[in-house]
Amino acid sequence: MASQVRPAPNLAQSPQPRQMPPQPPVAGQQFPPHPPQPGMQVPPPQMQGSPYPPQPGQQPGQQYLPQQYSTQQQGQQYPPQQLGQQYPPQQQGQQYPPQQQGQQYPPQQQGQQSLPQQFSPQAQEQHDQGDHAHHARRRLYPQQMAAAYSAPPPAAVPSAQPGQGGYIVPGATDGITQQMGNMSLGQETYMQPEQTEVLSGRPDLTDLDTAVPEVRLPPGTACVGASACDERVQRVTLGAIPRTDRLLRKTRLPLGLMITPMASEAPEARDIVRCRRCRSYLNPYVTFVDGGRRWLCNLCGLRNDVLLSMDYDKEANMQIDRWQRADLRSAVVEYVAPVEYMVRPPMAPSVVFVVDVSHAAVQSGAAAAASRAARDALQQMGDADGRAQVGVIAVDSSLHFFCIRAGAESQQLVVGDCDETEAWLPAPNDLLVNLRECYAEVDTVLENLPTSGRGGVGCVLGAAIRAAQKMLTTGGRIVTVVASPPTGTAARVDPAATELNSWYKTMAADFARAQIAVDTVFVGSHLGEASVACLARYTGGSVLQYSELVGPETGRAVAEIAHMVSVPVSMESVLRVRASRGLRVSSYYGSFFLRSMDLLALPAAPPAHSFAAEIAIDEPLPPVVFFQSALLHTTAQGERRIRVATLAVPTTDSPHTVFSAIDSRAVATLLAKKAADRVLTARVADAREALMHKTLEIFGAFKTECTKAASGAATQLQSPRSLRMLPLLTLATLRHPALRASSTERPGERTADIAHVLSLPPELLLATLVPRMFSLHDLPPEAGLPDPATGQVVLPPRRGLSAEELSPRGMFLIHGGSDVILWVGRDADRALVHSLLGTTEVRSGIIALPDLSQESGFELNKRVNNIMRQISAMCYQVWAPLIMVCPEDGAPHVRVKLAQRLVEDMDPGAPSYTQLLAQMRDKINRGNF
C-alpha cells in the first residue's frame, strides 16, 4: 500500500484530504439519530435535555465540552495544533449513520475525499458527506494507516500547510485515490524501498539510543492536550497491532507489553472514577457523550454516568472544570486510594535481615559485607515518619535471634533445635523493633553480626525464613544473605543435585499471600541457588550474586545490597492489566506471584522491576486498542495509592504497516525474557534454539509477506527499517550470561542472570545486552561534562562492538550496565592513562575507578566518572559497577571477558554478526528454519 503514496504535485494548493480514519467504534457518535442531511443544523436528540446546552459556537452533534474549549472552534476534543486536520465536528456527528451493509462505494465518490473547503467554518456547515463517503472512509482506514506509517517524517511536509501534524501524508490525496483503484483490482503492493533495508556489514549501534518510535494514533483518540503514556512505563512491541490473530500469526511477531509501573513520576488525580463493567479507570481516551452526561469506556464500550463530583466540588461549593482532571490530561496518573481499597491499615516498611554467619560465610567475607550493607541501608532508608521496623536473625547450624530494647544492651538468643515446619520464636516481642527508637542498638547488633555465630557449619535457612515470617506479622521484606548451601530437613538443598527443592516454591506461595518479599543475596557458588531463588521470583524480590568478595568487590556488593534494601519499594501491591475486548494476556514474565489470570500479586515492587505480558488476540480488534495497567500499592510513607497507566495503540490489517511500526528493542526484550523463562524449565540449548528460530521466522515472514522476492532466493537479507537491530540484539541475547552456551557458566551466576533478564525494564536489559563502547583517547570536547541546557552528562558517541575498533593507540571503555571493561592499547598515551587512573601502571584486574576530581590535572578521570554516574543513573542505580582493566596484552581471563562483550565478533558459542546475517539469509532462502 505504501508504495502508492506519492508526493502530490499540487500539494501546496490542495488542502489535505480527510485523512484520518473515523473515530474508533468506541467513540461516542456511533448512532446519530438521523441519517446525515446537507447542512445539518438541528441538534440531534441526544443533545436535548442536556444540562450543558451547546454553546453558540458549537456545532450540532459534537461532543460536549466545557465552555472555555468551545472558543477553540470545532476541534475541542483535539489538541489545538491538530485542528487543521480534524474532521469538522458536524461530520463527527454523522460518522456512523445507520449502517447500510453491503453498499458499494462508487468510484466517482472518491473525489469527495479531498473536498477543499473543510478547514473553513462556513465550508463545514455546507459540507455534506454522504453515506457512501462514510463507507469509503471506513474502508480506507487500514490503507490510510499504512500510508501514515510509511510516510516520510513530518519534516518533509511542505510548510504551506499550517498546523500540520504528524499524521497527514504528503500527497496522500493521490495516494488514496490510487489505493482505492488498486484495492478494487486486488493488487498486491510491497513496502517502499526506503522502508526496507538490506542488512549487511556492521550494524549502526546509534540506533539503540534513538527515541522509542512514537505510537501514532488517529487524532481525536485522546482528550485535549493529554500527554501520552511514557514509554518507560508501558511499551508495546508492535506500534500497529494486527487486527486479527491470523495476521499476527502470519507475521510471526511477538505481541507483548512491557510494564514498569514506577518508572516515571505521575501527577496525582482526585477521586477515582471507574467503568461499571470492566472496572477500568477514567483515562484520556474515554469519550464524553450524551451532552457530557455519560462517558464511554474505551476498554469495554460501556456508557457510564458522569458523576456529579466530576464537575462540582461539594466541599468548596463551586463548579470545577472536569478537563483539568489529571486523569483526563495524563495517561499515567496516581490516585490516593480510599478505604475501600484496603483490607487493613497500610503496613509499615519492615525488614528482617537473615544473615548466614557460618564458618564459610565469615571466611568469604559475606557476613561482614552483609553487616556493612545492612547498616548503610538503615542509614540511607530515611525513615521519615518513624514507622520502619527492623529485625535480625543470624544463621548457622542454629538460629541466633536478637532481643533489642531501646537503651538496653541487646540480648542474643540462640535456638539450636530448629525445624522448618513450625517456627518457634524465643521471645514474644522485641525481635522486630522500631528503627527510629532503637537505631543505635540495631546498629550495634549489625556491627557485631559477623562474630555472633560460633563458626558453626551449615545454614538452617529454612528455619530462619520461617522464623522471619513469624516475626513479620503484617508482611514486609526478608533480606537473606547466603554463603553456604542450606541445610536442615525439608529445606536442605544438595548443591550437586540438578532437581529443584520444591519446598522453597511452596514457601514462596505462602509468603506471597502473607505480603512478604524475599530478596536473596548469594556469595559464592553451588549454594542451591536455583531452589532458593524461587523465594525471590514468586514474591517480587531481587536476586544478587557475587562469586567472591575480594578487594573492591566487597565495596560493590555492599553498595548494591544497601541500595536494594534502602530503595523505596511499593509494598503489598497488586498489578492488574486490562486490555480492550479481543485482547488477552496469555502469559507474564517477571518476578511476581500470579494470583489469577490477570492479577499479579507483588509483596514488593522495586522501581526497577518490570513485568512483561505476552498478548494474544481472540477476536478482531477495533481500530485503536487500549492497555491499562493499575498498580495498587502501599508507599513507604504508608499511603495506599493506585498507579494507573493507559496506552493506546492503533491496529491495522496490513502486514506492511505491522512491519514498519515494530519497536525492535521491545521485541528483543520480550524474546530475551521468554528465552530466560524457558531456561528455567528446559535446557539452555533449547532456549537458544527457540530464540534463534523465532528471529528467523520473523524475517522469513517479512520476506514472504512484504518483499517482491516472496519465495525466491534473495542475495541479501532484507529487513524492515524498524527491525534492522533485531539480528544484533538476538546475537547479544544469545551471548548474555543467562543464555550463554558454555559449560563454564556457574549455576549460581546463571540463576541471578535469569532473574535479572526476567525482571529488568527494557532500557536496562538493553544496556546489559549491548554494552556501550566509548573511545577515551578522542573524547569529543563536550562528552563527560554536563550539558548546559539539560544538566545531563553528555555521553560520547557509541563505537561498534568489535575488536576491529580497538586501536593500539587508544583507550576504550566498554560499559555494560553491571560491568565495565577498560581496554588500554599497547601504545596508549601514558599521560592519558595517568589522567584517568592516577597512575601510569596498567595491570589486568578489577579496580574501583578512583575519584580524583578534587585534584587538578585529572580531567579524564572526572569525565569518565561523570559518564559512569550518568549511566548508573540511567540504570536506576541498580548496579555499582567496578572497572575491569584489560591491557592489550593482559591476562587471558580478562581478555575472555572482553571477548564476551564484543558482541559483533565471533565467540565459541555464537557466530559473528556478519556470519549470523549470512546464516539467516541462507536459511530463509531455503525456507527451512
Partner 1 sequence: MSSLVVIMLTDLECDYINPIDLANTLNTYVMPEMAAHLVMFVVFLLMGEWFTVVINLPLVAWNINKVVNNRQFYDATEVFRTLSKHKQENFFKVAFYLLCFFYYLYSMIMTLVNESTDDIRSGSAY
> How many angstroms separate the CA atoms of 72 and 170, rounded?
26
Q: Which of 212, 336, 594, 690 binds partner 1 (CB under 8 A)?
A: 594
By the rule CB under 8 A, 595 interacts with partner 1: yes
Instruction: Give min distance, CB of 842 to partner 1, in A.
Output: 49
Nearer to partner 1, 425 or 585 (CB): 585
> How many angstroms separate the CA atoms of 42 and 127, rounded?
15
Cβ pair 634, 573 in contact under 8 A: yes
Q: Which of 593, 627, 659, 858 binds partner 1 (CB under 8 A)?
A: 593
Task: Say whether 404 sits in a helix, a strand or coil.
Answer: coil
> How many angstroms separate the CA atoms of 499 and 610, rounded?
28
By the rule CB under 8 A, 510 interacts with partner 1: yes
Which whole-number Å values give the CA distances from 752 to 302, 430, 531, in the listed order? 45, 34, 12
Instruction: Give min distance, CB of 750 to partner 1, in A.
Output: 20
> How many angstroms separate the CA atoms of 515 and 573, rounded?
8
What is the footprint of partner 1 within residues 549-588 (CB under 8 A)? 587
> How many angstroms separate the CA atoms of 280 and 628, rounded?
7
By the rule CB under 8 A, 505 interacts with partner 1: yes
Q: Which of 506, 637, 716, 853 binds partner 1 (CB under 8 A)?
A: 506
Nearer to partner 1, 618 or 787 (CB): 618
Nearer to partner 1, 538 or 774 (CB): 538
DSSP designation for 228: P
Mark the segment that binds partner 1 (CB under 8 A) among 475-483, 503-511, 638-646, 797-805.
Answer: 503-511
Nearer to partner 1, 405 or 584 (CB): 584
Nearer to partner 1, 143 or 591 (CB): 591
Instruction: Give min distance, CB of 594 to partner 1, in A.
Output: 5
By the rule CB under 8 A, 713 interacts with partner 1: no
Cβ pair 3, 190 in contact under 8 A: yes
What is the footprint of partner 1 within residues 99-128 (CB under 8 A)? none
**Burial (CB count <10 Å: 0-12, 13-18, 19+), residue 289:** buried
Instruction: Give min distance, CB of 492 to partner 1, in A.
Output: 16
Complete DSSP assignment for 15-45? PPP--SPPPPTTSTTS--SS---TT--SPPG
Q: Which of 183, 198, 336, 509 binds partner 1 (CB under 8 A)?
A: 509
Nearer to partner 1, 505 or 581 (CB): 505
Q: Measured over all CA atoms, what is the biggest interatomic distance in the chain, rounded to whole angstroms?
A: 94
Nearer to partner 1, 322 or 578 (CB): 578
Nearer to partner 1, 597 or 891 (CB): 597
Give the length of the chain. 929
Number of residues that bind partner 1 (CB under 8 A): 18
Complete DSSP assignment for 737-805? TTT---TTS-HHHHHHHHHHHHHS-HHHHHHHHS-EEEESTT--TTTTSB-TTT-PBPPPPPPPSSGGG
Nearer to partner 1, 537 or 724 (CB): 537
Q: Which of 160, 427, 550, 599 binds partner 1 (CB under 8 A)?
A: 599
DSSP designation for 406: T
Instruction: Give min distance, CB of 537 to partner 1, in A.
Output: 8
Nearer to partner 1, 191 or 604 (CB): 604
Instruction: Give min distance, CB of 593 to partner 1, in A.
Output: 7
By the rule CB under 8 A, 533 interacts with partner 1: no
Residue indicated by cell numbers 564459610: 360
Q: Which of 508, 533, 734, 882 binds partner 1 (CB under 8 A)?
A: 508
Instruction: Give min distance, CB of 757 to partner 1, in A.
Output: 18
Q: Which of 42, 457, 597, 682 binds partner 1 (CB under 8 A)?
A: 597
Nearer to partner 1, 64 or 538 (CB): 538
Mark the segment that binds partner 1 (CB under 8 A) among 522-530, 593-601, 607-615, 626-634.
Answer: 593-601
Q: Which of 502, 637, 715, 839 binds partner 1 (CB under 8 A)?
A: 502
Please give the backbone phi and psi of residue 394, each rounded to the nearest 5 degrees, phi first.
-100, 140
By the rule CB under 8 A, 281 interacts with partner 1: no
Nearer to partner 1, 598 or 805 (CB): 598
By the rule CB under 8 A, 279 interacts with partner 1: no
By the rule CB under 8 A, 596 interacts with partner 1: yes
In our burial notation (b when 16+ CB lie closer than 10 A, e otherwise), range 78-100 reads bbeebbbbbbbbbbbbbbbbeee
Mark the segment that binds partner 1 (CB under 8 A) among 173-181, 594-602, 816-824, 868-876.
Answer: 594-602
Nearer to partner 1, 585 or 899 (CB): 585
**Burial (CB count <10 Å: 0-12, 13-18, 19+), residue 167:** buried
By the rule CB under 8 A, 342 interacts with partner 1: no
Instruction: Give min distance, CB of 665 to partner 1, in A.
Output: 26
Cβ pair 286, 64 in contact under 8 A: no
Q: Which of 87, 402, 538, 659 binds partner 1 (CB under 8 A)?
A: 538
> How many angstroms separate the CA atoms of 917 and 731, rounded?
10
> How many angstroms separate the CA atoms of 523 and 557, rounded?
9
Give the count of beta carbons closer than 10 Å to the beta carbon of residue 928: 8
> How many angstroms separate the CA atoms of 230 and 236, rounded?
11
> How many angstroms separate the CA atoms of 371 and 453, rounded?
13
Q: Which of 228, 392, 534, 813 binds partner 1 (CB under 8 A)?
A: 534
Nearer to partner 1, 534 or 692 (CB): 534
Task: List the Cα angle 480/745/665 in 5-degree steps.
Answer: 85
Q: Which residues form the interface with partner 1 (CB under 8 A)?
A: 499, 502, 505-506, 508-510, 512-513, 534, 538, 587, 593-597, 599
